Structure 1
Amino acid sequence: MPFLDWVNKNQAKDTSRQVPYHLLKREQIYGDAASAVDNLVIQGDNLLALKALIPLYAGRVDCIYIDPPYNTRSAFSHYDDRLEHSQWLSMMYPRLVLLRELLAEDGSIWVSIDDNEGHYLKVLMDEVFGRHNFNTTFIWQKVDSPNDNKVPITPDHEFVLCYERNKDQADFRKKSDSSLLEAYGQTDDQGRLYRDRLLKKNGKNSLRSDRPTMYYPLEAPDGTEVYPIHDDGREARWSHSYVGVMKAKDDGRLIWKKREKAGGTAWVPYIREFAPESPDRPHPTILLDTKTSRQAKIHQRDLLTDVDPFDTVKPEQLIQRVLDIATQPGDLVLDSFLGSGTTAAVAHKMDRRYIGIELGRHASTHCIPRLQSVIAGEQGGISEAIEWQGGGGFTFCTLGDAAFDEDGRINPDVRFATLAAYVWHIETGTPGIQAFDSPLVGIHEGTAYFLLYNGILGDRRPAGGNVLTHDVLAALREFHSHTGPVVVYGEVSRIGPTRLAAANITFKQIPYDVKAR
């Protein structure tokens, strides 16, 4: 598989590993407090914020949608969208790596882009997510009115690249389409809509030579044998196997009808098909019905009357289409280039949990007011179509200090649950979804992990509960009488290495062994 190369690529590849862990500070809750727990809006550098999310959310995000700067060399009021090409690639690479870590095994990532970097982004994502995990490229019509510019060609579309975390594991859903019921024009005595379809195959690959096993006789109601024959005399084939036809016969769905043929009438077999309870069809990859940039800007101006609108805002209908395909209610959606808050607003209205990350003060000036309007029941965007009535809540967070200083010491503001989640993730590679309210961090693949920190045992003396002594070890055994391997993190151990080995215990010192991982 080909790879992109650019100036400072090796540095970009190291960035995701070297970026420090920062703390998230919960600043304020908006709306319903219970709902706000699951919905986060984070103000800060998205590279730092993504790394901060790793211990608690690695492998838990069901769908990622991002609309990164397009590197168009145009001036935008909220972004510097004029990054030199290699800088743009170096900006995107580590963020895509961290996004991959956050994505669930059956999740998907969707990225909006245009021609300026779209083809380079495709190759970059092939490298990060695996070319075999590429699903498709959607084409979104962003302009719906004639352009009166003087240039002979003006692009009226953008792209959305879609990748799965693991090929064919994402539970994508088809598009509901009640108009499909129009094809079922008859009703049986039980009130079921149905249609009868000719059993003989027509069109492409419809000859006996195409599928010899699908050429066989069927017994008509008068006892005669009927073969699939085209009107021009060529031997055709049936659309169903013999077993399939017999199954349809047993179900009462093999229907014989007399039809006029040359020289008289003949029996013609049909298969009866009943209308689906929930008619749907595949989503098209050319999106002509998801509103445009112009309509999205009008909606944004209606909501945010006191601030300058984003020039590159996406319509809610576009994000709705993504979430319709890739998620269901309760799933977790992430947007690390939140902009004016469109993804969070749509996820909120569609009963999805969400995390949005936005740099700079417009996280406060744009995203928060927009979501407050959503909670209040604003009727723009997709609200009317999905009968949105308001409600819910979200939590506004900022990035705090780094969890570790340059010498590896732990920031005193780091609480037990935060460090426990970090320890759990670096040891197991899995997200920490447990409560983290006791010294037993968890058990993974037969190994128990304990953490002595912040006086979790109730003894805050320097030589007390954060130090592994025989008494502390006995206390840990009371939490869980684990018989397999044990790993204990603490400030220091007063038990010798020989006795620890005999007890199948590995001691790791805070902060050095934590930082070393």
Structure 2
Amino acid sequence: MPLLSWFNRDADLTRAALAPYRLLEPVANLSYGEPDSPNMLIEGDNLDALKALLPYYAGQVKCVFIDPPYNTGSAFEHYDDNIEHSQWMSMMYPRLELLRELLSEDGSIWVTLDDNEAHYFKVMCDEVFGRKNFIANVIWQKVFSPKNTAKHFSVDHDHMIVYAKNAEAWRPNEMPRSEKQNASYKNPDNDPRGPWTSGDLSARNFYGAGTYPIACPSGRVVPGPPNGMYWRVSKEKFLEMDRNGRIWWGADGNNNPRIKRFLSEVKQGVVPQTLWLNSEVGNTQEAKKEVVAIFGDENFMTPKPERLLQRVIHIATKEGDLVLDSFLGSGTTTAVAHKMRRRWIGVEMGGHARTHCQPRLKKVVDGEQGGISEAVEWQGGGGFRYYKLGVPVFDENGHIRDGIRFEHLAAHVWFAETGTARSTRAKKDAFLGEHNGTGYYLLFNGILGDDTRSGGNVLTRRVLRSLHPFDGPKVIYGEACALPEEQLHELGIAFRQTPYDIKAR
């Protein structure tokens, strides 16, 4: 498989692994709505934020949507989009690696870009996600009229590149039939089965099922071969369909027979297509109007319309699924996910998270009626927790920092050992749980209520007797171990010393 090469590529391949695990510190006065809401708005660099999320959400995100800087050479007010190509690749590669780890096995990632980087990005994604997991390049018609000032072509579209974590496991939700698709169904004969459309009964050649003449109600005979028609069904089947009123002869009964297909019997969902017209999912002008309605005169250069995100989230998720956007921008992804009753995580850097994303999401919780609100019958509710990035869990020497709580280290130990996430609501207990037949324990911060050296954080015989029983191999983390190697082997215990044996994934 061909690989991209760019300046500093070798360092970028390890950047995600070397990023520190940072704490996520709640900011109570910026949180809003239901106090136990699972939704998270995170302020900070998205590389560090994604790494901080791994111990809690690895393998749980059903849909990632990101709208990263397009690298167009323009200087945006809220983004430095004038990033040299190699720097842009350096920014995206480690973040894609972390986003892949956060995706569930049946999850998908959707990335909007223009022609400046889209085709390079496709090759990069082939490397990170695997070429077999490429799903589609969706074309979004982002404008509704040509730009006559364009030097060569008026660019009417953006790309939306879609990959699955595992293409074999991922299945899109079907799209509902549109009014335009149903418009061809009529009921000129007042059939009690409702609107219908007609389909051709004739076959193109002798491979058809029928080679017989047919008499119309008017008396006209439609001949069979060799000088007449081949039919798609046998004579017996045709006569049965005619008795059941499933043949249309025209209003005067003199037309060649056609099959009646009823709307009530048509599959109501349609497979998603790769061409998304602005009449169906909105355009940039619509998106800017939505943002102006929320922020007043404040504007963004490249907002996405809520209808566009509605279609993405409809295809990729169901109610209650987790949606993540780590380039949150004006907050459209999380606003739409909230209105569609999905759980969400949004990441945005600096004060922009406070001045734009947080106020917008407060309005959504309060029942804001712009965008898709009427279409999805949104009336408000729910809430979100606001977080900022704190200090790394480990210092530059690999030691656990002072002030790290048991639940923080427990999440990292569990993720390092199992590669899976530990719930933020997990019980605070030395026994972290069982995974693939092995039990995992952590002795830290006096979790057993004993801070003395002979107990608490040190594995002794007394401590071992007090631990939650588990019949199988065990991995126990602690500051020290007072048991001999022979006894550990006999009891099926692998002891790991903190912090030295805690491996960062």
> Is TM (by shorter chain) over 0.5?
yes
2:346 is paired with a residue of what secondary structure? Answer: strand
> Residue by residue, what CA displacement relative to the aligned partner does 1:223-243 show, whole Å, maximum 9, x if unpaired?
xxxx995796465644x9x9x
- Bigger mean CA offset, 389-398 vs 113-122: 389-398
| 1:505 has 2:493 as partner | yes
Q: CA deviation at 1:445?
A: 1.2
Q: CA deviation at 1:15?
A: 0.7
TM-score if structure 2 supplies the norm length? Answer: 0.88
Q: CA deviation at 1:164?
A: 1.3
Q: Distance in 2 between matches of 1:419 and 1:284?
A: 45
Partner of residue 443, structure 1 = 434
Instruction: Give the aligned residue type for 2:366.
Output: A
Partner of residue 215, structure 1 = 209
Q: Distance in 2 between matches of 1:401 and 1:67?
A: 27
Q: CA deviation at 1:143?
A: 2.0
Q: CA deviation at 1:163?
A: 1.0
Q: Distance in 2 between matches of 1:426 and 1:253?
A: 66
Instruction: Indicate if the aligned counterparts of 1:24 and 1:397 stay in contact, CA closer than 8 A.
Output: yes
Match of 1:392 among 382, 395, 401: 382
Partner of residue 284, structure 1 = 273
What pairs with 1:69-80 in structure 2 (closer than 5 Å)?
Answer: 69-80=69-80
CA 1:218 to 1:53, structure 2 compared with 1: closer, same or farther past 3 Å? farther
| 1:332 has 2:322 as partner | yes
Instruction: Give the aligned residue type for 1:406.
Output: E
Partner of residue 131, structure 1 = 131
Q: Distance in 1 between matches of 2:223 and 2:262?
A: 20
Match of 2:346 among 352, 356, 370: 356
Instruction: Indicate if the aligned counterparts of 1:110 and 1:163 stay in contact, CA closer than 8 A.
Output: yes
Q: CA deviation at 1:201?
A: 5.4
Q: Distance in 2 between matches of 1:193 and 1:502?
A: 75
2:161 is paired with a residue of what secondary structure? Answer: strand
1:74 is paired with a residue of what secondary structure? Answer: coil
| 1:173 has 2:173 as partner | yes
Instruction: Indicate if the aligned counterparts of 2:211 and 2:225 stay in contact, CA closer than 8 A.
Output: no
Q: CA deviation at 1:166?
A: 1.1
Q: Distance in 2 between matches of 1:159 and 1:61?
A: 22
Instruction: Indicate if the aligned counterparts of 2:111 and 2:162 stay in contact, CA closer than 8 A.
Output: yes
Instruction: Give the aligned residue type for 2:94.
Output: P
CA 1:144 to 1:259, structure 2 compared with 1: closer, same or farther past 3 Å? closer
Query: Where does structure 1 lack aligned partners over 5 or more consecutive residues?
Result: 222-226
2:122 is paired with a residue of what secondary structure? Answer: helix
> Residue by residue, what CA displacement relative to the aligned partner does 1:249-289 show, whole Å, maximum 9, x if unpaired?
79x979567799xxx99996847656158723233322222
Instruction: Indicate if the aligned counterparts of 1:44 and 1:359 stay in contact, CA closer than 8 A.
Output: yes
What pairs with 1:302-341 in structure 2 (closer than 5 Å)?
Answer: 302-305=293-296, 308-341=298-331
Q: Distance in 2 between matches of 1:360 and 1:216?
A: 72
Q: Distance in 2 between matches of 1:185 and 1:329?
A: 34
- Bigger mean CA offset, 456-465 vs 435-444: 456-465
Instruction: Indicate if the aligned counterparts of 1:256 and 1:267 stay in contact, CA closer than 8 A.
Output: no
Q: Distance in 2 between matches of 1:374 and 1:339?
A: 16
1:386 is paired with a residue of what secondary structure? Answer: coil
> Residue by residue, what CA displacement relative to the aligned partner does 1:451-507 show, whole Å, maximum 9, x if unpaired?
11111111122442111000110011xx22x22111101111000111100111100
Q: Distance in 2 between matches of 1:403 and 1:163?
A: 32
Instruction: Give the aligned residue type for 2:483.
Output: I
> Residue by residue, what CA displacement relative to the aligned partner does 1:307-358 show, whole Å, maximum 9, x if unpaired?
x422111111111111111111111000000011111111111111100001
RMSD value over aligned CA atoms? 3.4
Q: Distance in 2 between matches of 1:67 and 1:144?
A: 21
Q: Distance in 2 between matches of 1:253 and 1:405?
A: 79
Q: Distance in 1 between matches of 2:48 and 2:289?
A: 33
Q: Work out the number of aligned pairs and report it.
A: 495
2:502 is paired with a residue of what secondary structure? Answer: helix
What pairs with 1:2-21 in structure 2 (closer than 5 Å)?
Answer: 2-21=2-21
Instruction: Indicate if the aligned counterparts of 1:230 and 1:236 stay in contact, CA closer than 8 A.
Output: no
Q: CA deviation at 1:37?
A: 2.6
Q: Distance in 2 between matches of 1:73 and 1:267?
A: 62
Q: Distance in 1 between matches of 2:256 and 2:143?
A: 54
CA 1:372 to 1:77, structure 2 compared with 1: closer, same or farther past 3 Å? same
Instruction: Indicate if the aligned counterparts of 1:13 and 1:94 stay in contact, CA closer than 8 A.
Output: yes
CA 1:460 to 1:55, structure 2 compared with 1: closer, same or farther past 3 Å? same
Q: Distance in 2 between matches of 1:516 and 1:292?
A: 43
Instruction: Give the aligned residue type for 2:306.
Output: E
Q: Distance in 2 between matches of 1:37 and 1:170?
A: 27
Instruction: Give the aligned residue type for 1:33.
Output: E
Partner of residue 423, structure 1 = 413
Instruction: Indicate if the aligned counterparts of 1:198 and 1:271 stay in contact, CA closer than 8 A.
Output: yes
CA 1:2 to 1:254, structure 2 compared with 1: closer, same or farther past 3 Å? farther
2:11 is paired with a residue of what secondary structure? Answer: helix
CA 1:220 to 1:277, structure 2 compared with 1: closer, same or farther past 3 Å? closer
CA 1:232 to 1:366, structure 2 compared with 1: closer, same or farther past 3 Å? farther
- Bigger mean CA offset, 371-380 vs 319-328: 371-380
Q: Distance in 2 between matches of 1:154 and 1:182?
A: 32
> Residue by residue, what CA displacement relative to the aligned partner does 1:63-112 show, whole Å, maximum 9, x if unpaired?
00000011111111111111211111111001001000000111110000
Partner of residue 224, structure 1 = none
Instruction: Give the aligned residue type for 1:298.
Output: K
Match of 2:334 among 333, 344, 348: 344
Q: CA deviation at 1:149?
A: 2.5
Partner of residue 161, structure 2 = 161
CA 1:270 to 1:391, structure 2 compared with 1: closer, same or farther past 3 Å? same
TM-score if structure 1 supplies the norm length? Answer: 0.86
Q: Distance in 1 between matches of 2:226 and 2:381?
A: 63
CA 1:442 to 1:277, structure 2 compared with 1: closer, same or farther past 3 Å? farther
Q: Distance in 2 between matches of 1:474 and 1:234?
A: 87
Q: Distance in 1 between matches of 2:199 and 2:367?
A: 51
